[in-house]
Structure 1
Amino acid sequence: MRITGIRVHQVDLPLHEGGYSWSDGNRVEVFDATVVAVETDAGITGYGEVCPLGPTYLPAYAAGARTGLAELAPSLIGADPTELLAIDRLMHRALRGHNYVKTAVDVACWDILGQVTGQPVCTLLGGRFGNDFPLYRAISQDTPEAMAASVASYRDAGYATFQLKVGGDADTDIERIRACAAELGREHTLVADANTGWLPHEALRVAAAVRDIDVYIEQPCMTYEECLTVRRHTDRPFVLDEVIDGVPVLLRALADHAMDAINIKISKVGGLTRARRLRDLCLEAGITMTLEDSWGGDIATAAIAHLAHSTPAEWRFSVTDFNSYVTVRTAEGAPRREQGRLAAGTGPGLGIIPIAAALGEPVYRSV
């Protein structure tokens, strides 16, 4: 089997809540997603999606994904999409860095392999653990009162884990954490995610002020070294996210005992092939994981669900379902939440059928 063509589609994904805010005053109202179709000479097409969280969250932006794919695509024509490690090596030789550009291609190749073998991607990634799994809900940054009301609403909808977007004024963040914690019981999990927004002294003030609350502190500062300093001066459980972008930094963090959990975003590391590598290292090291991506719609949510479902339950710290945040459907058969829980599809590959009208005409097609 050989790759004969690559199509790239651009899709706007407006949010049900009108917008999404996080640290440093960042806000997005419509997410800009890129969907990739990898075509083969066997008549099988695989799909993947990448959707950066705006241009200020990670070194990634939506237009860059499409420009990078136009640069990368010609080198993939003629390659066997079912040879996943070979595809990964080919992409990283053809384009240095820019992991997010390669993600949708890698996911599409996993989709193809699943269709060829008649198996769901989660089976290929290691198996299906359980019938479904619980989800977390990200709570957009707002006033303490508004965030607490949002937590209460999603708690009543069946969610048990809540990721608060903090990383602003330290005193206000303390109020946000306390107000939201007051809405939850012992059966719930609360995460204060600063998304790199605090300086170390601010992070230490917040962590000290909420020592009486059962709350995780996630990625308080910009750099690994700053986060490690905070980690070594607080007894709150600790999550690393933005700085964990590959195996070398994960190995360093494991050696430093720098966290209790990590966040594996598929597009941050370059696709399912590399996400599985980090996942399996964490399994060996006993580190729990949030399994997700930067953002996305139905196709990205399907990929997240397969990675999560192939991970044993005791190592799943949290998972999210981005397609429930947005108003546009891009694929039939994509997993949908039920009472705060999700399940990967049981059909071959990702188990989805893209909606042509939602994708529109390609903005790039390989020649």
Structure 2
Amino acid sequence: MKITAIKAWQVDLPLKEGRYSWSNGNFVDVFDTTVVAVETDAGITGYAECCPLGSAYLPAYALGVRSGLQEIGPKMLGMDPTNLGAINRHMDAVLRGHNYIKAPIDIACWDILGKQTGLPVYTLLGGAAQEKVALYRAISQQSPEEMAAKIAGYRAEGYTKFQLKVGGNADEDIARIRACRAILTPSDILVADANTGWTRAEAARVVSAVADLDVYIEQPCMSYEECLSIRHRTPRPFILDEVIDNVGSLVKGLADDAMDVINLKISKVGGLTKAKLMRDLAVASGIPMTIEDTWGGDITTAAIAHLARSTPEEFCFSATDFNSYVTISIAEGAPVREHGFMTAPDAPGLGITPRLDVLGTPALHIA
């Protein structure tokens, strides 16, 4: 089997809540996502999706996905998409860095492998380790009262895990954390995610002020070293996200006892092949994970669900159903949230079928 063509579509995904806000005043009203198709001479096509969270979250941006595909796409033609090791080694050889650009090609190749073998991707990733996956809900940064009210609404929908977007003014963030923890039950999980937004001094103030609360602290500062400093100052469970972006950073974090949980984003690390490697290393090291991505719609949610479903429950801290945040469906067969849980499709591959009428005309066609 050989890759004969790569196509990409640009799709706007408006948010149901109208706006998503996180640290340092960053926000997105409409997500710019890229849907990728990898076509083969066997008549099997694999699909994937890549949707960066704007351009101020990670070294990634929406136009970069499509620009990068133009660079790397022609160099993938003629390769066997089911030889995932060779695919990833070749991508790394012909394009240094830019993991988010490589991710949709890798994911689409997993979709092809699943369709060729008649197996769902979660089986290829190690087999079903849980039947349904617990989800968290991200709470966009607003006033303490508004964020607490949103948590109350989402609790009624079945969520029990919540990620507050903090990383702003320290006094306001302390109030946000306290207001939201106050309306939760003892068994509910609350994560205060600063998305690198605090200085070390601000982070030190916040973790001291909420030391009496049951709350996880996530990625308080920009650098790994700053986060490690805050880790040493608080007994609260600690999550690292943005600075854990490859196997090397995970190994370093494990050696330094830098975290209790990691946030494993599929496109951040380069696709399902590298995410599986990091997942397996984290499981072997006793580190739970939030399994998700930077953003996306139905196809991204399906990829998340397959990786999460093949992860043992005790190491799957939570996952994300991004398709429930947006107003447009781009694929049939995608996971659907039920009472705070989702599961991966049992159909071959990712188990989704893109809605070509929604995707429209490809923005990119490499053949």
Query: If the length of structure 2 is used for normalisation, what is the TM-score?
Result: 0.99
Q: Which residue of 2 aligns with 1:137?
A: 137
Q: Which residue of 1 aligns with 2:66?
A: 66
Counterpart code for 2:91: M
Cα distance in 1 between the residues matched to 2:16 and 2:301? 16
Cα distance in 2 between the residues matched to 1:103 and 1:359? 20
- The alpha carbon displacement at 1:131 in A equals 1.8
Write the deviation string for residues 220-277 of structure 1: whole angstroms up to 9, x where unpaired. 0000000000001111100000000101111111000000000000010000000001
Cα distance in 2 between the residues matched to 1:264 and 1:237? 17
Counterpart code for 1:116: Q
Cα distance in 2 between the residues matched to 1:115 and 1:149? 43
Cα distance in 2 between the residues matched to 1:132 and 1:319? 11
Question: Secondary structure at 1:262's aligned position in 2?
Answer: strand
Q: Which residue of 1 aligns with 2:97?
A: 97
Cα distance in 2 between the residues matched to 1:14 and 1:231? 36
1:272-291 aligned within 5 A:
272-291=272-291
Cα distance in 2 between the residues matched to 1:204 and 1:127? 42
Q: Which residue of 2 aligns with 1:53?
A: 53
Q: Which residue of 1 aligns with 2:167?
A: 167
Residue 16 (structure 2) pairs with residue 16 (structure 1): yes
How high is the sequence identity, in percent, across the aligned residues?
Answer: 64
| Contact 2:130/2:311 (<8 A) preserved | no
- The alpha carbon displacement at 1:134 in A equals 1.1
1:215-226 aligned within 5 A:
215-226=215-226
Counterpart code for 2:328: V
Q: Which residue of 2 aligns with 1:343?
A: 343
Write the deviation string for residues 171-200 of structure 1: whole angstroms up to 9, x where unpaired. 000000000001101120000000000011
- Structure 1 runs (4+) greater than 4 angstroms displaced: none
1:317-336 aligned within 5 A:
317-336=317-336
Q: Which residue of 2 aligns with 1:29?
A: 29
Question: Secondary structure at 1:179's aligned position in 2?
Answer: helix
| Contact 2:219/2:240 (<8 A) preserved | yes
| Contact 2:211/2:236 (<8 A) preserved | yes
Cα distance in 2 between the residues matched to 1:31 and 1:84? 29
Supply the RMSD in Å over aligned alpha carbons: 0.5
Cα distance in 1 between the residues matched to 2:140 and 2:358? 26
Cα distance in 2 between the residues matched to 1:133 and 1:72? 34
Counterpart code for 1:289: M
- The alpha carbon displacement at 1:327 in A equals 0.4
Cα distance in 2 between the residues matched to 1:133 and 1:67? 34
Q: Which residue of 2 aligns with 1:113?
A: 113
Cα distance in 2 between the residues matched to 1:15 and 1:354? 20
Question: Secondary structure at 2:73's aligned position in 1?
Answer: helix
Cα distance in 2 between the residues matched to 1:156 and 1:210? 26
Cα distance in 2 between the residues matched to 1:228 and 1:3? 44
Write the deviation string for residues 310-346 of structure 1: whole angstroms up to 9, x where unpaired. 0000001110100000001000000010111100000
Q: Which residue of 2 aligns with 1:307?
A: 307
Cα distance in 2 between the residues matched to 1:130 and 1:105? 27
Cα distance in 2 between the residues matched to 1:297 and 1:112? 20
- The alpha carbon displacement at 1:357 in A equals 1.0
| Contact 2:288/2:316 (<8 A) preserved | yes
Q: Which residue of 2 aligns with 1:243?
A: 243
Question: Secondary structure at 2:119's aligned position in 1?
Answer: coil
Counterpart code for 1:336: V
Counterpart code for 1:266: I
Cα distance in 2 between the residues matched to 1:318 and 1:220? 19
Q: Which residue of 1 aligns with 2:189?
A: 189
Q: Which residue of 2 aligns with 1:44?
A: 44
Question: Secondary structure at 2:138's aligned position in 1?
Answer: strand
Q: Which residue of 1 aligns with 2:231?
A: 231
Question: Secondary structure at 2:128's aligned position in 1?
Answer: coil
Counterpart code for 1:210: V
1:352-367 aligned within 5 A:
352-367=352-367
Question: Secondary structure at 1:12's aligned position in 2?
Answer: strand
Question: Secondary structure at 1:290's aligned position in 2?
Answer: strand
Cα distance in 2 between the residues matched to 1:321 and 1:278? 21
Cα distance in 2 between the residues matched to 1:99 and 1:339? 33
Counterpart code for 1:4: T
Question: Secondary structure at 1:72's aligned position in 2?
Answer: helix
Counterpart code for 2:85: L
Cα distance in 2 between the residues matched to 1:249 and 1:129? 26
Counterpart code for 2:275: A
Cα distance in 2 between the residues matched to 1:110 and 1:159? 30
Q: Which runs of 5+ in 2 are unaligned?
A: none
Cα distance in 2 between the residues matched to 1:318 and 1:167? 21
Tell me the number of residue pairs that the alignment of Structure 1 and Structure 2 aligns.
Answer: 367
Counterpart code for 2:308: A
Question: Secondary structure at 1:137's aligned position in 2?
Answer: strand
- The alpha carbon displacement at 1:130 in A equals 2.3
